[in-house]
Amino acid sequence: MADFPTVLVTPQARARWMRLDTAQLLKRFFFCERSLLLAYADWIPRTGPLDIKNGLANFLWQNAETAHSLRNRVFELRFPSRLLEEEGADRVLVELFAAAKKSPSVLAFILCVGRVLLPALRDSYEAYLRGSDGIADGPTHRFLRLALQEKNEQMSTFEHWAEAELRRAPALRSDALAWTDAMAGRLAEIGGVGVVPAPAQAVAAPLPGAKEWTTPRQPARDERFWPCRFYWPDVVDPSYPYGEGMQLQVRSAISHLNEVWAIEAGSVILSAFANVLPWEWIHDAARWTYDESRHCRMGYERLMAWGLQPAEIPLGTYIYESASGEDPIYLLGMLFFFETKNIRHKAARAQVFHTYGDTLSEHDMDFDWADETIHAGYGKHWLKELLAVRGEDPAAYDRIREQCGKLVSDYVDTATPEEVADIKKIAGAILARADVTRR
Ligand SMILES: [Fe+2]
Ligand SMILES: [Fe+2]
């Protein structure tokens, strides 16, 4: 027997996890982030309060960025690419994260994410950062530290939302708490997210109280605003002027606020095509949805800065509802239709606001223009990809755009004389109020 050479063997914490061990854990985190962001997307059109809707759009983008970094890192670690497409032993865990979309109410969703799923991810990221090697795995440490910070921020925001929803709908409290306990119990049963190899798991039964939701035909809306379908008179009456001066400033802010429909459209299509299109779709759609929430906030903040109250501000639903009963490709087409139709006005409007000395409207419109340029690219690219996946001619993307124009004009034709009169009254009142503010 040959002599074994003398070697140095001492316990070394840095070597706790080998390359493929870390890849396995990062893959698990990727799938948890993916499931979580899809659940956020599903709740956006079903959630009324604007701060929650906008917050979810922001957070789903954060999660998509983390998932994207995780995915790239797993590839860098030379994990077999085919296996990255499969949850493997983590399937039951990933399905539990996905169950957040089946929460029985908004409150139940907020509680189970904020008190169970986010803390589990946060704890695992902390454990990963403690247990992995900051030299060999430095690239992971950089983005996971940011993800950890974001998860802590998400948790405190979810807690804040939970308090508000508990006040708004106290009758839902016991069901929501029971759902959250069931989620926590199941997570403990399967060993949590953790940083140890996943045990082999049998397929788990659905959680008690789980609800199958479909995409809402009408989006949930913040009750503080003036509810309507058509949010400004020019939508239903082409002779009503878009206006100039103060009227143009108010009209632009109302448009920005009413991009709430685009947040909803973005989140619906993100989810609808998540298993049809490649990962890059989710990544782009998350950014798209988040950008639209920023445009919506821009409008809201400007209107508030001018001293207007939500109750006097119209928040409409017509664009979403023009396409929500159709194949979701039309919600994708609707974004593309409005973005390509309106983009040429944005830079010009920013210039006009500049001449008014209205730096905030100019600033918002100019940033919006830059985002919309990205979005027009998303629309064309993904419409073509989706048609190709469906075995249709990718060049027909323009046909979808045209059909969207028709869907929306048909829907506008359903406006009743009462709706037209009401929105004219509301618009007139806002302009009169804004005029008082100006003086
Ligand atoms: Fe937008
Ligand atoms: Fe956009």
Q: What pLDDT is attached to residue 437? A: 63
Q: What is the pLDDT of residues 362-413, one digit of tens each?
A: 999 999 999 999 999 999 999 999 999 999 999 999 999 999 999 999 999 9
Span from the CA of 339 to the centroid of ligand 2 (angstroms): 6
CA distances from 295 to 54, 57, 380, 432 (A): 10, 12, 21, 25
Higher pLDDT, 137 or 198: 137
Q: Where do the DSSP E strands lie in 248-396?
A: 314-315
Q: How far is the CA of 150 from the centre of ligand 1 (A)?
A: 24
Asked if the model's pLDDT at residue 70 lies above 90, the reply is: yes
The alpha carbon of 415 and the centre of ligand 1 are apart by a number of angstroms equal to 24
> Element (H or E) spanning 204, and its range?
none
Ligand 2 center–CA 190 separation, angstroms: 41
Q: How far is the CA of 390 from the centre of ligand 1 (A)?
A: 28
- pLDDT value at residue 104: 97
Alpha-carbon span 269 to 334, nearest angstrom? 11
The Å distance, Cα 124 to ligand 1 centre, comes to 35
Residue 262 Cα, ligand 1 centroid: separation in angstroms? 7
The burial of 343, by beta-carbon neighbours within 10 Å (0-12 exposed, 13-18 middle, 19 or more buried), is given as middle
With beta carbons less than 8 A apart as the criterion, state whether 264 and 219 touch: yes
Region 116-142 average pLDDT: 97
Q: What is the 277 CA–ligand 1 centroid distance (Å)?
A: 23
Please, what is the average pLDDT of the chain? 95
45 CA distance to ligand 2 centroid (A)?
A: 17
Ligand 2 centre distance from Cα of residue 371 (Å): 6
Ligand 1 centre and the CA of 266: distance in Å? 10
Cα atoms found within 13 Å of the Cα of residue 297, Cβ hemisphere only? 15
CA of 299 to the centre of ligand 1 (A): 11
Tokens of 36: 């979580």
CA dist., res. 226 & res. 247, Å (int): 19
What is the β-pairing status of strands 226-227 and 314-315?
parallel
Q: How far is the CA of 340 from the centre of ligand 2 (A)?
A: 9
CA of 290 to the centre of ligand 2 (A): 10
pLDDT digits (tens, 9 = 90+) for 86-125: 888 899 999 999 999 999 999 999 999 999 999 999 999 9
Amino acid, res. 129: L
Under the banding of pLDDT at 50, 70 and 90, the label for residue 328 is: very high
User: Which bound ligand lies closest to the C-alpha atom of 261?
Assistant: 1
**Dist CA 23 CA 26 (whole Å):** 5
- How far does residue 292's CA lie from ligand 2's centre (Å)? 6
CA 428 to centroid of ligand 1, rounded, Å = 25
Quote the ligand 1 centre to 100 CA distance (angstroms): 28
Statement: residue 439 has pLDDT above 60: no
How far, in Å, from the CA of 439 to the mean position of ligand 2?
A: 34
With H, G, I as helix, E, B as strand and everything else as coil, classify residue 227: strand
With H, G, I as helix, E, B as strand and everything else as coil, classify residue 144.
Answer: helix
Distance CA(63)–CA(148), nearest Å, equals 11
pLDDT value, residue 199: 75
Q: Ligand 2 mean position to 261 CA, how many Å?
A: 11
- What distance in angstroms lies between residue 2's CA and the mean position of ligand 1's atoms? 73
Lowest mean pLDDT segment, chosen from 9-13, 151-155, 328-332, 422-426: 9-13
